[in-house]
């Protein structure tokens, strides 16, 4: 299936620009996830690819073909909508075969195709029901089935799981991952849920404020976030940020701030020192802080526990580090008391530093 390329894509509503020149290339058969908070432009971008929104500037290429002026139906895509957008007056079979019927495919072929897709999604029993007579999860499957039955080159998903309850969402996410293995097509998936993005995507595109913040594989984005926004958006519980300074204290470089002083590993030290401003933001994920009462001073951080949230095997502790707040994870059976000060070892390789002005990653 063809590559999709966005070139300087701009969207304006009147004088108000919401997308500021999006450049993006998606490889063949890639599962690309657009993720970001509400209003970041991810859905607008998807709807522009679909042809449901006009393109104010720039171009969309599917394969080598510029499509921004084409009708949606000429773009060879299928779409799953957030509210499913099923045709309420048609039964499941009619819903799934709508596109094929419009193409005047032979009846036998349509029946076969619908039967196959229904089988795959476990909808065979419900083919004669109308959408109003189905549960949320079943409707979701029908919407998926309608897209699959079409055999389009590209699949677009607009927050398809956000109307489901938490349990069903998990289950459908797993089903989507299974479907993904069977169907090798271009897929573009919009979500505000970073877990969906991390688990489903071959490539994640993090957006904010109408700009692409960073794109890459889930691992790249998790390990090497390009800026503070990406670092804070991906990962749960989110990364901690502490105001800090870089200091060279007699041969060893420290990152220190209110309530902590941690030595940087050597390879990080030179880059950090080379950075012009001395004031930085230290980013550290809760999973990179380990409870360790006997850790040496320059590799540890002392935290005073304020709140403990029990969530099963792990508890999330909200602590004070000087005057700043920080979250850490701890095995629930560890005996601790609120108000107690605990020592956590810092995984120094996993320290992230950001410029405090531009919030861009250092090193």
What residue ranges bind another protein (CB under 8 A)? 50-52, 71-73, 77-79, 81-89, 98-99, 102-103, 125, 129, 133, 146, 150
Residue 1 Cβ vs another protein, minimum distance, rounded to whole Å: 17
Q: Which residue number, 60 or 79, has a Cβ lying nearer to another protein? A: 79
d(CA 321, CA 346): 13
Name which of 84 and 233 has its Cβ closer to another protein. Answer: 84
Residue 79 CB, shortest distance to another protein, in Å, is 5
User: Minimal distance in Å, beta carbon 153 to another protein?
Assistant: 13
- Looking at the DSSP bridge assignments, the partners of residue 279 are 245
Residue nearer to another protein on the CB measure, 14 or 312: 14
Closest separation in Å from C-beta 113 to another protein: 14
Which of 79, 103, 76, 80 minimizes the C-alpha distance to 2? 76
117 CA to centre of own chain:
28
Find the shortest distance in angstroms from Cβ 52 to another protein.
Answer: 5
Q: Which is nearer to another protein, 155 or 254 (CB)?
A: 155
Q: Which is nearer to another protein, 77 or 190 (CB)?
A: 77
The neighbour count for residue 209, using CB atoms within 10 Å, is 14
How far from 218 is each of 25, 205, 214, 224, 337, CA to CA, in Å?
Answer: 16, 9, 11, 10, 36
Whose Cβ is closer to another protein: residue 54's or residue 332's? Answer: 54
- Distance of closest approach, residue 47 Cβ to another protein, in angstroms: 9
Contact 129, 118 (CB under 8 A): no
DSSP labels, 208-240: ETTEEEEEE-HHHHHHS-SBHHHHHHSSSSPPE
Question: Which two structure tokens, joined as six digits, stand for 144?
Answer: 């998926």
Nearer to another protein, 65 or 89 (CB): 89
- The CA–CA distances, whole Å, from 245 to 256, 285, 316 equal 5, 19, 27
- From CA 229, how far away is CA 172, in angstroms rounded? 28
Residue 145 or 257 with smaller CB distance to another protein: 145
The two structure tokens encoding residue 76: 């060879």
Q: Which residues contact 1 (CB under 8 A, 6 or more apart)?
A: 28, 29, 153, 154, 184, 185, 186
Q: What is the DSSP letter of 192?
A: S
CB 144 to another protein: min, Å: 13
Is there a contact between 46 and 4 (Cβ–Cβ < 8 Å)? no
- Shortest Cβ 103–another protein spacing (Å): 7
Minimum CB distance to another protein smaller for 103 or for 341: 103
Q: Phi, psi (5° rounding) for residue 170?
A: -60, -45
Beta bridge partners of 154: 77, 186
What is the closest distance, in whole angstroms, from the C-beta atom of residue 24 to another protein in the complex? 21
What is the biggest distance separating any 2 CA atoms in the chain, rounded to whole angstroms?
81
């Amino acid at each position: 299936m063809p590559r999709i390329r966005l070139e300087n894509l701009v969207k304006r509503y009147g004088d108000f620009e919401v997308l500021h020149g999006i450049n993006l290339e998606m490889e063949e058969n890639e599962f690309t996830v657009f993720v970001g908070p509400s209003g970041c432009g991810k859905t607008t971008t998807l709807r522009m690819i679909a042809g449901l929104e006009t393109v104010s500037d720039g171009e969309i290429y599917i394969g080598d073909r510029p499509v921004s002026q084409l009708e949606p139906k000429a773009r060879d895509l299928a779409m799953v909508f957030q509210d499913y957008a099923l045709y309420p007056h048609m039964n499941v079979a009619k819903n799934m075969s709508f596109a094929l019927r419009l193409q005047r495919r032979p009846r036998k072929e349509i029946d076969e195709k619908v039967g196959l897709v229904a089988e795959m999604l476990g909808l065979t029993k419900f083919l004669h029901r109308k959408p109003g007579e189905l549960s949320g999860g079943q409707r979701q499957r029908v919407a998926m089935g309608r897209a699959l039955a079409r055999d389009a080159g590209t699949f677009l998903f607009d927050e398809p799981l956000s109307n489901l309850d938490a349990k069903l969402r998990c289950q459908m996410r797993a089903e989507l991952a299974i479907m993904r293995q069977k169907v090798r097509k271009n897929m573009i998936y919009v979500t505000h849920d970073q877990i969906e993005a991390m688990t489903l995507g071959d490539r994640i595109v993090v957006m904010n404020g109408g700009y692409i913040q960073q794109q890459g594989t889930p691992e790249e984005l998790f390990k090497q976030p390009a800026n503070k926004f990406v670092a804070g958006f991906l990962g749960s519980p989110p990364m901690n940020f502490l105001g800090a300074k870089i200091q060279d204290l007699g041969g060893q470089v420290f990152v220190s701030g209110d309530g902590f002083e941690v030595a940087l590993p050597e390879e990080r030290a030179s880059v950090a020192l080379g950075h012009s401003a001395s004031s930085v933001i230290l980013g550290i994920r809760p999973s990179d802080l380990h409870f360790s009462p006997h850790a040496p001073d320059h590799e540890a951080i002392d935290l005073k526990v304020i709140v403990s949230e029990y969530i099963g095997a792990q508890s999330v502790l909200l602590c004070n580090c000087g005057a700043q707040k920080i979250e850490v994870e701890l095995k629930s059976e560890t005996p601790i008391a609120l108000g107690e000060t605990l020592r956590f070892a810092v995984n120094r390789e996993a320290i992230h530093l950001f410029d405090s002005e531009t919030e861009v990653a250092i090193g």
